């Protein structure tokens, strides 16, 4: 699979470029490689699509943030494509034509699609979120979503007009959806203000949808969450967004992933971290015991002489890579627990060991009652004298 070019390199801007700088860079490239300026030039068309994909990602704050953090993998959809997934130049005109006036400047999509009439438009995309446990993120899971979205009105068949009637051509633009205005030496087409580019208006509105052409409904969808997902990652369900207009494709549904914090493990990218407390004797003499992992138990071997703060790396016991890379590791941080209280035998043995090590330690601390007993005994001896 060929390596994709950096979106910033495509537009020729720095990573710190402002939204206006990104827009200007895209408009310059789009004008240079526009199909109407380069008829029959497949390389120009490819660069036109490439620039549109880069602009789609870098001009959208959420997509840009994911791209800056994860690269092209962060903006890949369920189908594997990056960016907006433009299939042809008409998709680009639908997305950005009105913003930059490509159709107006170069003859645009109206002539390419056979004249006037309502223009097909892609539906809006929707966004929702799901929360999963860290253990679910480690192996993947399936979740059922319930979202509120619109569907075409059954009563009017999605026309918005009262049953028995039909939308009629806009009188202002003659059904073209565009009006021509002269600006100096240029003739510029703009969206018709009467029909807002639809080319048609509704005289008698459908009572069910009030002319909106759609109705809200709750839909249940099943989404498969791949293993290794992390916070801020998104899944894209193609075609599960709002319906398109005038035969256009439906938008997409973006599902933001939220992974709950775990009481024992800390997420460190693909690695996991945890802390294991040891007694002084376990660290000095070594030991073995079972520790939990996200997929079961693991026998942990502590070597004699293990030091406080030492990290034991357990290969392959971390999180999987959602993009197919190597699995992470489990990092076990060793801590030494110092008992707050000792029984007499424990204190005796530790003091003997301190003497063997020639280490200075604090003297035996007398209890409150021992001190009280000594106090009264001293007073009695003083009185006797």
Q: What is the CATH number of the domain that holds 92?
A: 1.10.287.110
pLDDT in tens, 262-308: 999 999 999 999 999 998 889 989 999 999 898 888 999 999 999 99
Structure tokens at 16: 């710190």
Residue 107 gets the label, from left (phi > 0), alpha (psi -120 to 50) or beta, of: left
Q: Do residues 134 and 233 share a domain?
A: yes
Number of domains in the chain: 4
Rounded CA-CA distance 320/301 in Å is 24
86-90, 250-254, 314-318: lowest mean pLDDT where? Answer: 86-90
Per-residue pLDDT at 175: 84
* C-alpha distances out from residue 62 to 69, 84, 233, Å: 11, 13, 10
- Is residue 178 in some structural domain? no
End-of-domain residue from the set 217, 237, 257: 257
- Sign of the Cα torsion 298, 303, 309, 312 reads negative
Q: Do residues 147 and 220 share a domain?
A: yes
CA-nearest of 382, 117, 84 to 241 is 84
Looking up tokens 């990573």 gives: 15
Rounded CA-CA distance 141/123 in Å is 29
Q: Do residues 140 and 249 share a domain?
A: yes
Where do the H-state alpha helices sit in the chain? 7-11, 19-33, 42-58, 61-70, 89-100, 102-106, 108-112, 134-139, 280-285, 344-356, 368-384
Is 202 buried (19+), middle (13-18) or exposed (0-12) by CB count in 10 A? Answer: buried
- Is residue 196 in some structural domain? no
Q: Do residues 15 and 39 share a domain?
A: yes
- Is residue 67 in some structural domain? yes
- Is residue 187 in some structural domain? no
* Domain limits for position 354: 344-384
Per-residue pLDDT at 268: 92
Per-residue pLDDT at 139: 92
- Is residue 180 in some structural domain? no
CA-nearest of 168, 212, 217, 171 to 194 is 171
Q: Do residues 75 and 6 share a domain?
A: yes
Q: Do residues 45 and 86 share a domain?
A: yes
CA atoms within 13 A on the CB side of 35: 18
Per-residue pLDDT at 377: 72
- Can you give the CATH number for the domain in which 156 is found? 2.60.260.20
Q: Do residues 252 and 136 share a domain?
A: yes
Question: What's the whole-model pTM score?
Answer: 0.57
Q: Do residues 301 and 320 share a domain?
A: yes
Q: Do residues 162 and 240 share a domain?
A: yes
- Is residue 272 in some structural domain? yes
Identify the band that residue 261 occupies on the pLDDT scale cut at 50, 70 and 90: very high
- Is residue 191 in some structural domain? no
pLDDT at residue 47 above 70?
yes
Q: Do residues 133 and 253 share a domain?
A: yes
pLDDT in tens, 84-109: 556 555 556 655 555 544 444 444 44
Q: Do residues 270 and 250 share a domain?
A: no
Q: Do residues 134 and 243 share a domain?
A: yes
- Is residue 189 in some structural domain? no
């Amino acid at each position: 699979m060929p390596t994709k070019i950096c979106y910033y390199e495509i537009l020729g801007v720095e990573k710190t470029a402002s939204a206006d700088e990104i827009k200007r860079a895209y408009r310059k490239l789009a004008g240079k490689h526009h199909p109407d300026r380069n008829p029959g030039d497949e390389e120009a068309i490819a660069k036109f699509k490439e620039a549109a994909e880069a602009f789609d990602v870098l001009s959208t704050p959420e997509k840009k943030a994911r791209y800056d953090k994860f690269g092209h993998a962060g903006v890949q959809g369920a189908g594997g494509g990056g960016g907006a997934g433009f299939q042809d130049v008409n998709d680009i005109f639908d997305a950005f034509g009105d913003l930059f006036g490509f159709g107006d400047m170069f003859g645009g999509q109206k002539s390419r699609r056979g004249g006037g009439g309502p223009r097909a438009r892609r539906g809006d995309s929707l966004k929702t979120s799901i929360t999963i446990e860290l253990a679910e993120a480690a192996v993947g899971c399936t979740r059922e979503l319930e979202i509120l979205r619109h569907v075409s009105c059954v009563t009017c068949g999605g026309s918005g007009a009262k049953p028995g009637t039909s939308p009629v051509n806009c009188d202002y633009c003659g059904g073209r959806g565009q009006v021509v205005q002269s600006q100096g030496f240029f003739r510029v087409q703009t969206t018709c203000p009467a029909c807002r580019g639809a080319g048609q208006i509704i005289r008698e509105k459908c009572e069910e949808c009030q002319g909106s052409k759609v109705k809200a409904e709750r839909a249940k969808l099943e989404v498969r969450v791949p293993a290794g997902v992390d916070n801020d990652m998104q899944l894209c369900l193609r075609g599960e967004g709002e319906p398109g207009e005038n035969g256009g494709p439906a938008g997409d549904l973006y599902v933001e992933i939220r992974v709950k914090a775990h009481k024992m493990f800390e997420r460190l990218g693909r690695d996991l971290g945890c802390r294991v407390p040891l007694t002084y004797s376990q660290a000095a003499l070594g030991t073995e015991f079972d520790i939990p992992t996200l997929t079961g138990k693991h026998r942990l071997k502590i070597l004699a002489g293990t030091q406080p703060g030492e990290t034991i790396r357990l290969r392959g016991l971390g999180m999987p890579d959602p993009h197919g890379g190597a699995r992470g590791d489990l990092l076990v941080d060793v801590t030494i627990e110092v008992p707050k209280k000792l029984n007499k035998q424990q204190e005796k043995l530790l003091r003997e060991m301190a003497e063997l090590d020639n280490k200075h330690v604090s003297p035996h601390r007398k209890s409150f009652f021992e001190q009280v007993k000594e106090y009264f005994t001293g007073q009695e001896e003083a009185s006797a004298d």
